[in-house]
Structures are given as structure tokens and as C-alpha cells.
Amino acid sequence: MTKRIRAKHKIDRRMGENVWGRPKSPVNKRESKPGQHGDRRSGKLSDFGLQLRAKQKLKGYYGNITEKQFLRIYKEASRLKGSTSEHIIGLLERRLDAVVYRAKFVPTVFAARQFVSHGHVAVNGRRVTIPSYRVRIGDVIELREKGTQMALVIEATQSGERDVPDYLEADHSKMIAKLLRIPELGEVPYPVQMEPNLVVEFYSR
């Protein structure tokens, strides 16, 4: 088992949920948390505990992004007009690695980050190697020729495990995708319930 897979499984087990909805998640087999005392019954979480858990789950889902990056997203979302929790989701879904994952070019968010970092993705014809790059509505995301031949790409595009959401347009014959609009929380196909309102409460303390 690779280090990355172990990290994903650890997040699943810590949360007690199949965060990415993957069939090989350890939560599908056992529901205990990781560690020697994982089988012990956990007490009721405090408000702070619930808020922290919601933050860790959302951070983990997007490839376990750093606290610094996540806090920056929250601060930016809080400055925008309207619902801060909705803006957090909108900003996360506009990350280039998230768009590559949603377009079904790769099987996991972690693979999407590595795929972008290794230079296999172009935005509007220009190579971009920053996973957190902010995609704008109408931007054309394209896989560069070397990336289109990779086994994980072929496997992901042919997989029936998940669908491309309505706010994205993806053409797997040309290996291009386009962000049509910024999604609301209810449109994002999370396998588990995400609670960005609790994230807002966590940072508002």
C-alpha cells in the first residue's frame, strides 16, 4: 500500500466516513478509528469538536490541503457578498486540481494534484503546474498530449464510478473541460455531507 493510499485511508477512518465514496475505503469494512484504541466508543463531540471535524473533512476531501491555504480561502470567502459557506465551496471547486478531478480525467483528488504538478494540464493553451490555480468561468482545461496516454487517465474517463457534474463540460474524446458556472453546495457531488457552515463557525470563534 502506497504512502498516499495510507494517508487517504487514515482520513476516512478518522472521520468514520467514506469521504471520497471509493469502494476500497477501509470504512466499508470496519468503522473503528485508526490506532490502538480505535474501537473504543467516542463520547459526544462538543461544538468545537464538530466544527473542527467539519473543517478537517472538507480539507481532507480536497487532497488534505494545508491549513494556511484553507484559512486563506476562508478569509477570501468572508470578504465576498453573500453566504460565506457557499463561497468557500465555490472557491474550492475552482481549484485546478479539483476541476481536473471533477472532469474525470483522473481517479482521485490526490492524483489530480500530482497530475497538475507534473505539467500534464494546460489552461487556455498555457501549461499550469500549480494545483491551487484558480479556474475562471469559461476557461478551457486541456490535457497535454503526454498526459492523455497515461493509464490512470484512460481508466478514469472510462469509469462508471462517478459522473461529471452539470457545472462542468467535459469532452473525453478531446480531453478538454470547461467550467460553466460556479457551483452551489447542493450541486457538488460529495459522497458524504459537508458542512461549510461549521467551518465558518470554527474560524469565527
137-188 residue pLDDT tens: 999 999 999 898 899 999 999 988 889 999 999 999 999 999 999 999 999 9
At position 29, the amino acid (one-letter code) is: K
CATH number reported for the structural domain that contains residue 200 in this entry: 1.10.1050.10
Q: Which DSSP string do the residues of 16-38 spell out, in sequence order? A: TS-TT--TT-GGGT--PPSSTTT
Same domain, 136 and 165: yes
- 86 belongs to a structural domain: yes
Same domain, 194 and 169: no
CA distance 132 to 110: 12
Q: Could you tell me if 194 and 149 are in contact, meaning their C-beta atoms sit under 8 angstroms apart?
A: no
Entry pTM: 0.81
How does pLDDT run along the chain (205 residues), one tens digit per residue? 455 555 555 555 555 665 656 565 554 555 555 566 555 555 688 999 999 999 999 999 998 899 999 999 999 999 999 999 999 999 999 999 999 999 999 999 999 999 999 999 999 999 999 999 999 999 999 999 989 889 999 999 998 888 999 999 999 999 999 999 999 999 999 999 999 999 999 999 8
Rounded to 10°, the helix 109-117/3-15 angle is 140
- Give the domain extent around 75: 3-32+45-91+189-204
Same domain, 197 and 162: no
Distances (CA, A) of 184 to 78, 79, 179: 16, 17, 13
Label the pairing between strands 176-179 and 121-123.
unpaired
Distances (CA, A) of 175 to 120, 133, 199: 11, 19, 35
- 38 belongs to a structural domain: no
CA distance 23 to 80: 37
3-class secondary structure per residue, 112-144: HHHHHHCCCEEECCEECCCCCCECCCCCEEEEC
